[in-house]
Amino acid sequence: MSGYITVPPSRQARARLGEIPGAGDVQYEPQSVEAPKGSLLPNGDGARFPELNDDSLFADCFFTVPAGVQEIGFTWTLTAPHRTTTWEYIAITADNTVLTTFDSHNTTPPYVVEHIVPLGGLTGRHTILGRWNIGDTPNAFYSAVDLLIESS
């Protein structure tokens, strides 16, 4: 157990709320999407929660970002804070664009962590992967948020 993005609602937050039929066991353990560092998949390419990688399950579930908004806040809710090296936010695209990285200098975060993430001029439908890199293990926690960024 550890944590996931709750604002805007991540795929696992939506599953926990019962919004995603067929989401699997992640609805009971949204904070447990843990896998080795470095993956670009919503489930971290781990053995558990393959439903998170199925874009069709989440096709109608997105958070709308109004035109002109250049950055948005992401809130992680942690059930068990771990020493943290970095938090990364990546737009899952053909180029897998890193939007920003926050260095936590291997410190233990509070139970609620907020980051302001620049959107890098993106518009349209995008999945943003939040990757919480743990300092004392080879693993990270993964959380994916589907956004619809309106254009002007």
Predicted confidence (pLDDT) at residue 34 exceeds the cutoff of 80 = yes
List the domain range (segments joined by +) for residue 9: 3-149
The share of the chain scoring above pLDDT 90, in percent, equals 97
What's the pLDDT band for 49 if we cut at 50, 70, 90?
very high
Digit-coded pLDDT (tens) for 54-111: 999 999 999 999 999 999 999 999 999 999 999 999 999 989 999 999 999 999 999 9
CB 124 within 8 A of CB 145: no
Write the DSSP assignment of 44-101 as a string of letters.
TT-SS-GGGG-GGGGTT--EEE-TT--EEEEEEEESS---EEEEEEEE-SSS-EEEEE
* Res 152 pLDDT > 90: no
How much is the pTM?
Answer: 0.96
Query: Bigger pLDDT: 55 or 152?
Result: 55
| Count of the separate structural domains present in the chain | 1
State the CATH number of the domain containing residue 107: 2.70.50.50
β-strand 71-78 against 3-7: which pairing, if any? antiparallel
